[in-house]
Structure 1
Amino acid sequence: MKKKIEQVAKWLGIKTNFKGIEVTGVSINTRTIKPGDLFVPFRGENVNGHKYVHQAFEAGAAASLWQRDEPNPPKDLPLLFVDDCKTALQEMARAYRDELSTIVIGITGSNGKTSTKDLVASVLKPYFKVQKTQGNLNNELGLPLTILSLDEDTKFAVLEMGMSGFGEIEFLSELARPDYAIITNIGEAHLQDLGSREGIAKAKFEITAGLESHGKLFYDGDEPLLLPFVEDFPQAVSFGFDENNELAVRDIKATETGSSFLVSGIIDAAFTIPVLGEHQVKNTLAAILVALEAGLTEEEIRLSLKDAALTDMRMQIIQADNGATFINDAYNAAPSSMKAALNFIRETTMKEDKWLVLGDMLELGDDERQYHEAVAKSISSEIAGVCLYGPRMKWLYDKLDGSFGGQLVWSEDDYTPIIEFLKAHITENSVILVKGSRGMALEKVIEPFTAQEK
């Protein structure tokens, strides 16, 4: 973004006496601000960003917003006075989006948003200029910041859209106006806010609210809860495991370097990705559909997918110092993604000695005990040992205790017993799946086993 301050003021419907100052970005954090940025000071419960406006200019800010009801604005600094800083940030993003010719791909879903974002970006990046959501900037503040960070010549923007309640995805979709929308799946995350999986499906389908008239929706065709919404939506294209999907996948095989699989329907072809897990193969189907819309050939798609890169902690392979293999899937967890990961560890032939490190699944509402206990059904008898972490995993521990034939350990809030337990048991012939919600930070269990942490 390269705009004069008077253009930014026009976006906001306000006037400014400052002329010619060039704004080349937007920041809400003085610690990461870059020269030329417009600083946006938010008032939170504990921190008032207006106190840091001087600091922002000292760090190189070109200008700053200032909320009208905030007293004592500094004089002689290029300030833009607005009624509400959050609304102003969103309006700037909306105006900038209207000026861009960038093709926007919006992605939502209970699980797999970030992996799908990475896969879509990976398949397009060798052939186009692509930008994607960084980190978890996928909400009412993060999405506007992402849009405002787009270069004017970006061909594809891959934008992740998260939510916790009704209306949030609708707002983000109408702000970003995607040319293509993707719903990865309907899981159980945010049940405590949305009440049911039917409610989650309704909230995720809000991504179509801002879909351009020429746009398409790619959705999980294996999810019956989405069917009522897509029945009267002609731009919808299904993908999944069921052969009746418009793009279906079969013959998924785990390899030493990832997964190989066949697709049929819209395209009949064989592909490989350097990522483990059937659920990641399913996410790849959405990337293939986007790539076809972008005009890529089967061979171009095959070549780019071979080198696809996912954000860390998504079925990430980590080799331990003693030769054991950790599968770090600790970025997040919900019952559906937990089941998918456990299916992988059951079926993999990577190594014979199989172990689990599982942490609490958060935000599951009133039925959280039932969901944790149900994980027991997906733990196969060939698992050598199960390590459980977190207060909710005590429910699973009690369910397994006395019935599970392998080693079993539980720790409520201390990683040490699990680390010491693994040190005593795993060998170079071991593969260890590590999975839990982000708040459990289970990657800390892996750190003592890797050389870079010494």
Structure 2
Amino acid sequence: MYPCTVSELTEHLDGRRHAWGSLHPFEAGAAPDQRQIERVVTESGRVVPGSLFVALRGRNRHGVEFAGEAAARGAVAILTDQLPTRSVAPESTAAGPPLILVPHALTGLQQLAVRNRNHSAASVIGITGSVGKTTTRQMIYCVLSQQRSSLQSPANFNNEIGLPLALLELSEQHRYAVLELGAGRPGDIRFLCRLARPDWAVVTRVAPCHLESFGSLQAIRLTKQELVEEIPASGCVFLCADQPEVAGMSRATSAQVEYFGLQAEGVGRCQMVSFDQGRSRIRCGTDEFVYEGGRQLLLCAAAAVTVGRRAGLSAGQIAAGLQQFRPDRGRGRLLRAGDWQILDETYNCSPESAVACLKSLSEWNAVRRILVLGDMLELGESERELHCDVAATLVNSAVDLAIFCGRLSSICVTAATASGYADDRLHAVADNQQLQCLLSELLQPGDLICLKGSRGLQLEQTVNWLLRQAAERGGQVIP
């Protein structure tokens, strides 16, 4: 974060500084508070000495209720749009940090993020898409970090709260900032662009995710295109060539456009070369690269290679960056649990990512390939049709056993059977408890178990159960 004192913060936000425990602001002419703000947090438990605690209004409680904890942990100030109804720490009112009162704490957080962004000369790379945002962001970060100091979004900080927090981590040392931009409704990405002012844009794929809030695939496409439209003419846009809905976004920008993917031309063209022991070898242009993960991550790697080349990195630097990448838990990481392999894809699931996962399983070496597919949520009125479409692809896959988990599991079994997949290789369970009971009966040495589903199903509980089962049996566990 660039230097900012408590008084500078108050002036920038046109706020009113209150003494700890006081309902009355300091009078005009009061001595300025020159203490430096070293970081900004919105969770009191993450406060360390020098932090600004932003007390946001939550669904059930207001963050100002946790001001006492923030003060005890060393906050230098508390930004809030509501003063506590009583002293949050009546025993130590003289020693507590000031409260900066503003009309809307979230707006204040965003304004502070814009201030920090305006101080930075870093090139900001915005990444959006229905699938693959986080993995693409991580791969690009690993690549660019080989050349210059870079920043990436912490976790998946990609909304109106998370993106400002990411921008507030920018400092003078950074030359690149690789940031995710998510959306739950039209206009979200354009708003985030006004905060981050990205120089480059990367669009992965457009897929039927969050249909309940968007209403149609076209609305999703137009929302993702908002990022492309916000890139200045001096910038660059990177588009997936394999999907016309994404490639066609080139018409929405005056910036330079580069393509990546299986159908791209030139240096952005990529293809699978081989897969062995959880690692993929791909060819982009005339160079080959290796990354941890399966075929479903190929386009993410292709985007990272194309961005790296645009940034002037050598093939050796790009290769070294991709070698450092490791998938997060829940996003394609391979776990070893005794004589089982566990492919952890539990963080999220959409129809497109589910089919990609199915196709990639054929390349894994295992005695049996077992797929656990949880419900895909937020698909609106199309949920049954989309679930059936995914289930019908099983017949052309290398999956030996398929277990559907959730409210729609029975209709998935019916659809898979109707497509020609053997019914004695299909199972339907309602939840994690039933799933674990079934797996305890089915699993054999040498099995690969791939678990994929929407976050609401919490299939990571079963991943953790599998790891415990292996450990209890004396097997080596490599998480």
**TM tier, shorter chain?**
over 0.9
Q: Is the 8 A contact 1:108 1:207 kept in 2?
A: yes
Q: Tell me the equivalent position of 2:447.
A: 430
Q: Deviations over 1:160-214 (max 9, x none)?
A: 1111100101011111011211111101111121122111110001113442442
> Are 1:5 and 2:6 matched, yes or no?
yes
Q: Does structure 2 conserve the Cα–Cα contact (< 8 Å) formed by 1:237 and 1:246?
A: no
Q: Which residue of 1 aligns with 2:26?
A: none
Describe the SS at the equivalent of 1:237.
strand
Task: State the match for 1:305 in structure 2.
Answer: 322
2:415 to 389, 399, 418: 399
Cα distance in 1 between the residues matched to 2:171 and 2:297: 29
SS in structure 2 at match of 1:47: coil
- Name the aligned partner's letter for residue 4 of structure 2: K
1:130 to partner: Cα distance? 2.0
- Indicate the residue corresponding to 1:196 in structure 2: 216
1:270 is the counterpart of 2:285 = no
Give the gaps of 5 or more residues in structure 1.
none
Q: Structure 2 vs 1, CA of residues 73 and 433 (structure 1 numbering), >3 Å: closer, same or farther? A: same
Q: Which amino acid is 1:379 matched to?
A: L
Partner of 1:351 in structure 2?
366
| Alignment-derived partner of residue 217 in structure 1 | 237
Structure 1 residues 449, 43: CA separation in 2 closer, same or farther (over 3 Å shift)? closer
The aligned residue for residue 29 of structure 1 is: 43
Deviant stretches of 4+, over 6 Å: 72-76
Take 2:208 and 2:401, find their aligned partners in 1: how far apart are those partners? 26
Alpha-carbon contact 2:278-2:364 (below 8 Å) kept: no
Residue correspondence of structure 1 range 335-374 to structure 2 within 5 A: 335-345=351-361, 347-374=362-389
Relative distance call for 1:319 and 1:10 in structure 2 (3 A) is same
Q: Does 1:241 align with 2:256?
A: no
> Structure 2: which amino acid aligns with 1:254?
F
CA change 1:245–1:334 in 2 (3 A) is farther
After superposition, residues 37-52 of structure 1 pair within 5 angstroms as 37-52=51-66
1:102 aligns with 2:156: no
Q: What residue number does 2:405 align with?
A: 389
1:412 aligns with 2:433: no
Identity %: 28
Alpha-carbon deviations, 1:296-349, whole Å to 9, x = none? Answer: 11111112212222222222111122x12111111110000001000111x314
TM-score (norm 2): 0.87
Cα distance in 2 between the residues matched to 1:210 and 1:225 = 18
- Match for residue 20 of structure 1 among 21, 31, 34: 34
Residue 244 (structure 1) shift: 4.1
Q: Whole-Å Cα distance in 2 between the matches of residues 190 and 165 of structure 1?
A: 9
Taking a change above 3 Å as real, the CA distance of residues 135 and 197 of structure 1, as seen in their structure-2 partners, is: same
Instruction: Work out whether residues 267 and 284 of structure 2, in 8 Å CA contact, stay in contact via their aligned partners in 1.
Output: no
RMSD: 2.2
Of the candidates 285, 302, 314, which is equivalent to residue 285 of structure 1?
A: 302
Residues 152 and 179 of structure 2 are in contact (CA less than 8 Å); yes or no, is this contact kept in structure 1?
A: yes
After superposition, the C-alpha distances for 1:212-264 in whole angstroms (9 at most, x for unaligned) are: 44211111121212344312524222211114476111244212241011112
- Counterpart CA distance in 2 for 1:372 and 1:232 is 33
Counterpart of 2:191 in structure 1 is 171
Query: Deviation digits for residues 128-182 of structure 1, max 9, x if unmatched?
Result: 2222112222100111011112333122211111111001010111110112111
TM-score when scaled to structure 1? 0.92
Q: Say if 1:325 and 1:428, in contact at 8 Å, map to a contact too.
A: no
Q: Is the 8 A contact 2:337 2:471 kept in 1?
A: no
Which runs of 5 or more structure 2 residues have no equivalent in the other structure? Answer: 18-29, 473-479
In structure 2, distance between residues paired with 1:232 and 1:46: 41
Alignment of 1:133-212 (within 5 A): 133-212=153-232
| Alpha-carbon distance between aligned partners in 2 of 1:50 and 1:112, rounded to the nearest angstrom | 36
Distance 1:320 1:71, change over 3 A: closer
Matches of 2:61 and 2:370, distance apart in 1: 44
Contact 1:114 1:311 in 2 (8 A): no
Deviates more, 1:294-303 or 1:239-248: 239-248
Q: Deviations over 1:385-438 (max 9, x none)?
A: 11111002222022234743242221112x233223333333333222211111
Task: State the alpha-carbon separation in 1 of the partners of residues 194 and 234 from structure 2.
Answer: 15
Mark the CA change 1:302 to 1:227 in structure 2 (over 3 Å): closer, same or farther: closer
Structure 2 counterpart of 1:88: 108
Structure 1 residues 371 and 98: CA distance shift in structure 2, 3 A = same
Query: SS in structure 2 opposite 1:22?
Result: coil
Instruction: Quickly say closer, same or farther: Cα 1:292–1:11, change in 2 above 3 A.
Output: farther
Q: State the Cα deviation string for residues 43-70 of structure 1 (Å, max 9, x = none).
A: 2331012222233212100011232687
Amino acid across the alignment from 2:350: A
Residues 1:53 and 2:67 aligned together: yes
Report how many residues are paired.
Answer: 447
1:337-393 CA deviation, whole Å, 9 max, x = no partner?
001000111x31412421111100011111000001111222136432111110022
1:258 aligns with 2:279: yes
Structure 2 counterpart of 1:51, one-letter code: E
> What secondary structure sits across from 2:46 in the alignment?
coil
* Structure 2 CA distance for aligned equivalents of residues 218 and 319 of structure 1: 35
CA distance in 1, matches of 2:464, 2:67: 39
Q: Distance in 1 between matches of 2:461 and 2:150?
A: 32
Amino acid in structure 2 at the alignment position of 1:442: L
